[in-house]
Structure formats: C-alpha cells, structure tokens
Structure 1
Amino acid sequence: MTWQSMTQQITLFILFLCSLGWYSVSNDYVVFDNSLFDYVHIWMCWSHIIHYLISTVFIYLLYAYSYSQVYNVKTTQFQNVLFSISALFATSGFAAIILIWSPELQTVKLFFQFFSPCIHLFLMLFSALLLSCNKKSSIFKRNFTIPYFSILFFTMLTFFIHPQSPCVSDVAVNRTKPLIFGHKGFPMIAPENTELSFQLSLEYVDGFETDVAVSYDGVPFLIHDRTLKRTSNVEDVFPDRKHERAEMFTWGELQKLDVGTWFIRDHPYYIFPTNYPEEMRQRIKEQKLMSLNQLAVLAAEHGKYLIFDLRMPPMGHPHTHDYIHVIIDAVLSSGIKQSQVFWVLGPYADYVTSKAPGFNLVYGAKVNHLSKYTMSGLILEYNTVSGEEIQRYKEKQNMDVILYTSSTEWTFSLAWCQGAFAYISDAPEIHSQLNKPIFSFTIREYNIIWRVCFIFCCICIFLSSYIPRFPTNTNSKPSR
C-alpha cells in the first residue's frame, strides 16, 4: 500500500470520528449556536451547517477513495487537495474543541457509554462481515491493510468488552421516570419565555424552568440572554440600545418589543414547521415578554412546579441590592404554593428562608458538606455528574438531582437510568411520550441478544467458506 493511500485512510478515519463526535453533542447544538452569536452577532444554525459539511465531505471522499481502490486508478488532483484540507481542518477542529469546548468531551464519553450495547453488537457484526469478505476478495487484501489487521482485534474485543451503558441494568429498568420541566416553555415550537411557549408545554410538563431578570422599574421578567438582540426587534424599536443590558429597560419599554417574529425567521432548533397554520404564525408574531408573576400564576392554576435562575442587575440599576426581595414578592403575590417553587440558593439565603420557608431549596453546584439549610436537591448539568453520584446524593444526603438540559431521547433516557429526579427539557413532547428508556435492557435480555448475534455471525462466516469465488477484473474500469 502506498503512502498516499495510507494517509487517505487515516484522513477518512479522522473525518468519520469528527462526524460521529459532532453528532454525539447534538443535544447541545443550541448552546453552541448561542455562544457563537455572542461573538459574531449573526444568528445561524452553525452547528447543523458544520455537521452537514463534515458528513458531506466524508461521504464524497469515501466514495472517491473506494472508487480509486476498487478500479485501481488514482484520485484526482482536486480530491487529493480536498483530502489534505480535510485532514488539516479536522485536526484543527479537534484541537479547538479540546481547548475551547472541553466540557463537551464528557458528553462524547456519555454518548458512547449510552450506545455501548449498539456499538458492541455492531463491532461483532461488522467484524463478521469483513471476515466473510476477506475470504473472497483479493482486492480487500491488497488495498485495505489497516482494516485487515483490525478485524481480529475487533472480533476479540467483543469477547471482553461489556456494555457500559447505565441502561443495561436490572435496577435501571425499574426506576421512576424523571419529572419534566419545560425549559423556557416549549422552545422548539414557540418562541422561548413567552406565554404561548409555556401554554403549549402544559400537557407535557410537570413544571417550568426559566431565567429571571429585573427591569429598570422593578418588574421581574423572563429572559435568557444578557441583551434583547437575539430574541426581539430591539434594533428596530430602540436602535441605539440594541447592545444594552435587558435590565436597563423599563417594563413599559420591554412591552413594546416583538419577541415572536425572530422565531419564525431564525427557527433556532432548525425544525420550525413550514405547515404552521396562519393563525399560529399570527399568535407567534404577537408574543410579548412575560413577567415572572404571570408565569407563577400559570403554574399555580395548573399545579406545575416552578424553578428559575436569578440574574443580578448590573451596577447602576435601582434594584441591584434588593432584586431578591422584588423577585420573591412577585412569586408570592401570584398565589402559588411555596411547595411548588424550587429556589436555587444564592445571595440573601437567610432572607429567602424567612420570607418563604416553604420553598424547596436546591444548590446549583455539587456539594460535599452539610448546610445549615434543609436542601431538597441539586440542579446540575447532565454531563457533569455520574449515576453513582446521583445515587450517593440521594441515599446519603437525601437530595434529589435535577439535570439540564435535554433535547434528545438518549440524554433523557440516560438520566432516567441514572435515577435523576427531574430533567429540564427543550423537547417535553418527545420526553413525555417515552414509556421506558430507549436501549434499556436487563442483563439477561442483553446476554440473549448478544448470543443470538454471535451465533448468527459464526454461521455467516462458516457459510461464506462455501460460496464460490467470483473473479475480479481489476484492469477494467467504467467510464466516470
């Protein structure tokens, strides 16, 4: 095998890993897009563009390489250049993710752990296929040296590797389904943090989760970003203030903004239905910023839990030092039961516990010490905590764990198998319809599946020895 052929194989392998790795973090695509927006101030579905670009280049180069090897021809100059550029960018991309977005490496690890049963079976089936092909193909022997020497390794690997997924467990299959908290409502089908978004989530969720800021005149309202640029028409209404902190606007000024049209234009989750009825589109365009009191009233009326992150106003804001008082007053005046509210413990904790002793107090980080406050649980990012830690908090400290944020079935299923109390969801409809975690098996069930696949592979390899070998004409090639 030539040096060029080997480098092309390595490039294809790197591109495959890039494509698979980028797909494995798809749960956090919106986080990536929002982060890029903060830097470039241009909204696009960057994450999907990157995924499609990597996948397209990989498929094209795989075709080009396979064609050149099967028909014993050289790749074109364009293809060689594309191989080189792809190797450079793929390597640079790996380095950038490790340096800039390193927490997502844990997401990749969780992805492979969760899908380890599928990977385990696929390796066995793929190895059997290669062994069967190897018996009949001289082209395979001559041109695919790296896969050839990998067959035995992959085959033997299946005998010693056992799935690491928490969902292959006799305990996990009987765990209680986590509660579902709608993240900013139902942001996949309606603009986030609007009344419509929360109303559409009602039939799917057990509670609401959002972010709260305080307006310049003391009205707590719902917003995720620091500014209003991404989710409103602030550039049209207040062009000189488009980069100003949202808290520096009065409630009256905030109510002048259209916070729905952007959703139709940008479709942040890349799935905005084109067949939305005109009535729904009109309702979306009419959405205004929602106050915390309005959300608490909605939660009280429908018996939903409420949890929110607090944002301290900037210096120079009239409520920089009493924003906690303003927020608690807004919640309590709604009539919601205190037991329905999960309060993320932070500043002025003594005041909070004296004013609202019935709130469920939760930490926003891992803790290894006892607190003078009675804690209900922790709220943690899903890729920062293991199933063992979740169970340890529950058994030793009597604290439940709420995880965030999920837009995929596998992340929700993983939390279910780990024993999480609740999950903050971007896709409550999808998660509410799950009756059990996906790819969930008892150990006995999985062992039966593995044995059946193994016997099938052995039969295929055995039968392939009796299939006549067809001659391969490597001198001929079809017109391209």
Structure 2
Amino acid sequence: MMSEDSCGRICCRGMYSCYWRHPSDRTQKCSCCWLSVLTAVSILTLFWMYICLMAYNDRDDVNWKVFSILKLWVNWFMVLIIISAVLTIYCTLLLVFALFQLALKVPLDLHSLHKFFLFLGVVFVALGTTGISLKWGKEWHTVLLSLQATAPFLQMGGVGALTLVSWLVFQGFHRTRRVASKILIMAVFVGVSVAMFLSPLLIQSPCLVEKEQLPRKPNLIGHRGAPMLAPENTLMSFIRSVECGVIAFETDVQLSKDRVPYLMHDHNSHFLRRTTDVLQKFPGKDLNHSTNLTWEELQELNAGDWFLKTDPFRSVSQLSEQEKKTAGNQSVPSLLQLLDLAKTHNTSVIFDLKNDDNNDTNDTVNTILNSSIPQDLILWLPPKHREYVREIAPGFKQVYNTVSDMNRDGADYLNVKYSALSTAEIGELRNRNVTVNLWVVNEPWLFSLLWCSGASSVTTNACSLLKDMSQPDWTMRPDIYRIIWITVDLVSLLIMFAVFILQREKANKGIFCLESERTIPLLTL
C-alpha cells in the first residue's frame, strides 16, 4: 500500500483536486457525479477529435469558407485541430488521474477550475458539432465512411479499454452493499461489453477482401496541378503533377475582359485576391468578376509569391531553393498554355467553367478546337450547353456530376465528390463499366478505402504522396478478421472473469478482516 504522502498519491491528488500538501478535509459532495461528467466529456472530446482527424482531408473547405468571410487566408482548420487536441489530451489525462485515485482509494474532489474547463469543453464541442451540421452537413457522411476504414481497429481498442476498466468496475461492484447499485453497475457494464464484443457483426469494409480480389490502384488526377508542390493553377504546378504520373489535369477556366480563357479557381468577390498580388498591382480597381481585367493585365500579376508566404500545405520547406525561386515567379496561365502542355505529355484535361454568363462555353470550346489537341483528351464536365458541345466537338468525353444525368444520357463517366457515393455504389458502378472519378482525395486512409471499393481514379492535391502507395494502408481476408475478432473477445472475457474472481476474493477478505476487528474487542470484554 502507498503511504498517504507517496509521490503517486500526491501527483494524482494535486492534478485532480489541487491539494498538493495534504488531502482535502472537507466532505466530498457529488464526487461520483463529477467523475461521470468527466468520463462523458472525455468520450465526447475523443469523438470530436476523431471527427476533426477524419475531416482533415477536406480542410481546404473550412479554410476557403473562412477566407470568403474574412478575406484572410490562414490555415484555420489547423488552429481547430490544435485546440481540439489540447482539449482532448486535457480531459483524457484528467480522467486517468481520477482512475488512479480510485485505484489508490484516494477520495475524489474535482477542483472548480477543472469543472469550469470541462464546461468550456462541452460548449466548444457543441458549437463545433452544430457548425458542421448547419454549414458542412456533408462531412457527416465522411465520418460514417471513415468507420469502414477504422472500425475494425476501434473495436479492438474498445475491447482493450473495457478490459482495463473492468478492474475498477468490478471493484465498485463488490464494494457496493446496495443490491440496486450492484444490478445497475453490472447491467450497464454487460450491455456495453456485449455491444462492443458483437459490433463486428455490423462492420462492413471493402478492405476486408481476398488479396486476389483487390481492385487495381486508382489513377490520379492533379487537382489544379500539384498544389502541395507548387502554386495551384500555374504551369509549374501542372508540370510537377506530370512527375507524379497523373492521367489528367483538373483546373478551373474563366475568361478575361478580351475573351481569353485562363486558369483561376477563385471568382466573384474573391476573384484573384487569394492567389495573386492583384490588390497591390491594381489598387481601387473593381475585382468582382473575371472580366474586370484584360489578359494583358492578368499577365502582370504574380501568381506564386502567395504560395511561399502562406505555405497552405506546410510543404514549402520540402522545396529546393531553385524550386522556391521558380514558384515565386509564376504567372496566371492561359487555357491554351495548359492544352499545349497536356498535348505534349498526352494528358487529359478536365475543368469547371466558373462563369458562363457571357457565352463562355463557345469561346472555351473554340480555344480547345484551335489548339489541335486530340479531342479524346478533353473530359467535358460543365453541364450547361452540353448538347451544343456534343454537336460541335463530338470527340470530347462527356463527364457527369450526377448518376441520374449520366444514366439519362447513357454515358459512362462520373465525376463526383468522394462522399456522394457509398463504397457499395462505387462497386456497382464499376461492375457496369462506369468510370468513377472521386474528388478531392488527399489522405492515405481515404485513398485506401476508395481503392478497395474499386474507384477508377481520384482527383487529389497530394499526388506526390499517393503515387508512392503500392497497396492500401491495410487489407485483410474476412476469415482472418473473424479469427482475430473472436480471439480478442475471448481473451478479454477470460481476463474479465479472472479480475471478477480476484476482486470478489479481495472484497470477501476485507469483510472478514473487518468482522474480526469487531469481534476481538467483544471477546476481550
């Protein structure tokens, strides 16, 4: 037994209750309730941290949304990740200290400052969850999708955690004298354990597959080139994506005041502000539409220096000095320049038309036809004027962004956000020989899951990372997984049974000693 002033007791008591020199001499009120609150908040923050990590693939969506409001480009999602990580670590450590105190039989007395921070944690997670639900609802599908990649391992981790906690649960069960409390403790623990042990019956992952049945690796399409290696939508970026072996360049086309198609994603009130020095070059000029500047004026802009200053993907440090110099001197490219590059490397081109209110389709198609690039290298995505494009450029591959439109026209090329389809739907479409491209996929876990599902290709910012993957992060034969699942459950049950017996014997011994101490004085009398 540890002494009252042992280092373990002092540390746990000090961290949890802020009593460093001596234990609290006041009566503990609602200590069990606050332990329950701490446990609930810890689980809540862990769940929130999981959401943040799974949503990391789409961090640009958050950063872009904030930029559209504040007109300031900062990696806001990373700020969110850091705050969430600090909160999760804080709550988890506090819970560990509480459990140690229980094991050491130290009275629990949660300090009021910790109570305040727990309240702030609940508010933070509640606001974050509400924000996702209201402004980013599609991300919940990503979280559900991620469970197909993580659920087998989360289940094993959950079984391990239950096994460790069982010591304290059975200790409380045997110490409690009230029958109702014993029934409640055991009912809750058994219910949670049964759910955890049997949850693999509901786990369906495309990566639980025979090795021979694993689909081929999806091809890569460079999202605005290779924006982790060079400024997005610049010639340098597309050249770097060629080095990754992409099969297509994905970009965004707008037209200048003098009707020259050029490459730029941001539009409307955000036009050119994020990725060029337009505010310095043309102060006071109206910059709310692509046609506010001529092609000659666009050529005066620097489209690469922002990349070095903001380092949007924290990747600038990986560039050589020569690459940094090249990146800092990029200009806004025309569509014709990209078509020439694509023709040279026999690479397809897929793009969005950001503004089609001045017959942009006609000028864009004419530019493509005049470039002499083979028509089968053009993946035509804009839905507006599709019939017109099909008529004057029959060689273009028609790409659709909804299954219904694709089926209506009897086409076989689909380009949708990765969360728009379930893994089962991807497999069904591939069985129909439909080419399925999914955007934007940056994280290896997501790429692995879509690989197992049978995706034809993915549009990515991280082509340099995904090109080196020779296999998914994990695959497992279904029968092997069943053996591992059942083995882990059985081992956990055996350990729990042994812990239950040990705690019962320990409790009985404690009762026997207590009765002996009461009997000896009576015999003496």
Fold conserved between structures, TM > 0.5: yes
Give the stretch that moved more between structures: 323-332 or 357-366. 323-332
Amino acid at match of 1:216: K
Asked if residue 277 in structure 1 is aligned to residue 320 in structure 2, the reply is: yes
CA contact (8 A) 2:406 2:414 kept: no
2:394 maps to which of 346, 350, 357: 357
Q: Which residue type is aligned with residue 435 of structure 1?
A: S
Change (3 A) 1:247 1:409: farther
What do residues 185-228 of structure 1 show as CA deviations (whole Å, max 9, x unaligned)? 11112110011111111122121111111111111111111110
Counterpart position of 2:311: 267
Do residues 241 (structure 1) and 279 (structure 2) align? no
Match of 2:150 in 1: 115
> What is the CA-CA distance between 1:384 and the residue it aligns to?
1.0
1: CA distance, partners of 2:273 / 2:174: 56
Larger Rg: 2
Question: What letter matches 2:420 in structure 1?
Answer: T
Offset of residue 462 of structure 1: 6.6
Alignment of structure 1 residues 296-375 onto 2, 5 Å: 296-313=339-356, 320-321=358-359, 323-367=360-404, 370-372=407-409, 375=411
- Aligned pair in 2 of structure 1 residues 76, 242: CA closer, same or farther (>3 Å)? farther
**What are the equivalent positions in structure 2 for 1:413-428 lying under 5 Å apart?**
413-428=448-463
| 1:446 corresponds to which of 454, 477, 481 | 481
Give % identity: 25
Q: How do residues 8-27 of structure 1 correspond to structure 2 at under 5 angstroms?
A: 8-27=38-57
> For the Cα contact (< 8 Å) 1:365–1:380, is it kept in 2?
yes
Which stretch has the larger CA shift, 83-92 or 5-14?
A: 5-14
Give the 3-state SS of the residue equivalent to 1:25 in structure 2.
helix
* Contact residue 218 and residue 451 of structure 2 kept, 8 A: yes
- The alpha-carbon deviation at position 259 of structure 1 amounts to 1.1
Matches within 5 A, 1:222-241: 222-226=263-267, 227-241=271-285
Rounded Cα–Cα distance in structure 1 between residues aligned with 2:400 and 2:199: 40
- Partner deviation per Cα, 1:146-205 (whole Å, 9 max, x = no partner): 998654334323235332222113489421221110100111121100111111111221
Secondary structure of 1:391's counterpart equals helix
Q: Which amino acid aligns with 1:431?
A: L
Of the three residues 165, 171, 181, the one matched with 2:205 is: 165
CA contact (8 A) 2:236 2:327 kept: yes
Separation in 1, partners of 2:186, 2:227: 48
2:423 corresponds to 1:387:
yes
Q: Which residue of 2 aligns with 1:478?
A: none
Partner SS state of residue 350, structure 2:
strand
3-state SS of 1:406 partner: coil
Q: Secondary structure at the match of 2:317?
A: coil
**Segment of structure 1 superposing worse, 341-350 or 402-411:** 341-350
Residues 224, 237 of structure 2: 8 Å contact kept? yes
In structure 2, relative to structure 1, the CA distance for the partners of 1:84 and 1:252 (3 Å cut) is same
Matches within 5 A, 1:182-221: 182-204=222-244, 205-221=246-262
SS in 1 for 2:217: coil
Q: Aligned to 2:339, what secondary structure does the other structure show? A: helix
Report the Cα offset of residue 347 of structure 1: 2.3
Matched-pair contact (CA < 8 Å) for 1:228–1:242? no
CA separation of 1:275 and 1:351: change in aligned 2, threshold 3 A: closer
Question: How far did residue 231 of structure 1 move?
Answer: 0.7
Q: Is the 8 A contact 1:134 1:141 kept in 2?
A: no
Unaligned 5+ segments in structure 2 are 1-30, 177-181, 508-525
Structure 1 contact 234–242 (Cα < 8 Å) conserved: no
Partners of 1:128 and 1:461 within 8 A in 2:
yes
Q: Deviations over 1:356-407 (max 9, x none)?
A: 21111011223167445x52311111111113323333445x5322110011
- Could you list the per-position Cα deviations for residues 418-462 of structure 1 after superposition, in whole angstroms to 9, with x for gaps in the alignment? 222211011112211222222222212322333443455456557
Alignment counterpart, residue 155 of structure 1, candidates 170, 187, 193: 193
Q: Contact (CA 8 Å) 1:345, 1:361: kept in 2 or not? A: no
Structure 2 letter corresponding to 1:334: S
Q: TM-score, normalised by structure 2?
A: 0.80
Take 2:175 and 2:158, find their aligned partners in 1: how far apart are those partners? 20
Q: 1:177 aligns with which of 217, 220, 224?
A: 217
Moved over 4 A (4+): 132-135, 137-142, 145-151, 458-471
- Alpha-carbon distance in 2 for matches of 1:186, 1:431: 12
Deviations 1:338-364 (A, max 9, x none): 112211152222331222211110112
CA distance in 1, matches of 2:40, 2:477: 38
The aligned length equals 459
The gaps in structure 1 that reach 5 residues or longer are 315-319, 472-480
CA–CA distance in structure 1, aligned partners of residues 276 and 482 of structure 2: 53
1:38 paired residue number: 68
Label 1:4 to 1:276 Cα distance change in 2 as closer, same or farther (>3 A): same
Relative to the length of structure 1, the TM-score reads 0.87
> In 1, Cα distance between the equivalents of 2:173 and 2:81?
32
Aligned 8 A contact 2:379 2:396 in 1: yes
How far, CA to CA, are the matches of 1:441 and 1:31 in structure 2? 33
Once the two structures are superposed, what CA deviation does each residue of 1:86-110 show, in whole Å capped at 9, x if it has no partner?
Answer: 2122212212211121111111111
RMSD over aligned Cα, in angstroms? 2.9
